[in-house]
Amino acid sequence: MARPIINVPAKARRGQVIEIKTLVSHVMETGYRHTETGERVPRDIITEFVCVYNDEEIFRATLSPAVAANPFITFHTLATESGKLTFRWTGDNGFSETGTATIEVE
């Protein structure tokens, strides 16, 4: 399974607004579809996405069955200090995926 793709600027000025982009591989099966034989396809989605910047949670999203497959989540934050950003996606059937990125703030 593909690793998530995370885009965080490698360097930023202190106080600068930076854009963070993430792309994760997931089928996001809604739970509303049926097979050709009429059986319901069980729901299998990512339910939560969290971004932590140096131990501080800066972004959280709750995902629903309406979200397309391979969710692309992008948001902005303030570059406060150098360090590590951790991204975590969790969902149905014990789905869990993490990714990290580092940023240098000067």
Partner 1 sequence: MRSIDIVLRCVSTSGFVLMLVLLDSLSATTDTRRSTYDDMSRDIRAMQDDDMANPASLWVNDGAALWSQPAGAAQMSCADCHGDAATSMKGVAARYPVFDAARGKPVGLEARINHCRKTRQQAPAFAPESRDLLALTAFVGRQSRGLPITTGDDPRLAPFVEAGRMIFERRQGQLNLSCAICHDHNAGKRLASALIPQAHPTGYPIYRLEWQSLGSLARRLRNCMAGMRAAPYATGSDEIVALELFLMARARGMATETPAVRP
CB of 55 to partner 1, least distance (A): 26
Q: What is the DSSP string of the chain?
A: -PPPEEE--SEE-TT-EEEEEEE-----B-S--B-TTSPBPPPB-EEEEEEEETTEEEEEEE--TTSPSS-EEEEEEE--SSEEEEEEEEEGGGEEEEEEEEEEE-
If the CB atoms of residues 16 and 25 are measured against partner 1, the closer one turns out to be: 25
If the CB atoms of residues 1 and 10 are measured against partner 1, the closer one turns out to be: 1
If the CB atoms of residues 54 and 96 are measured against partner 1, the closer one turns out to be: 96
Q: Are 26 and 69 spatial neighbours (Cβ–Cβ below 8 Å)? A: yes
Residues that bind partner 1 (CB under 8 A): 1-3, 5, 7, 21, 23, 25, 27-28, 68-70, 72
If the CB atoms of residues 27 and 78 are measured against partner 1, the closer one turns out to be: 27
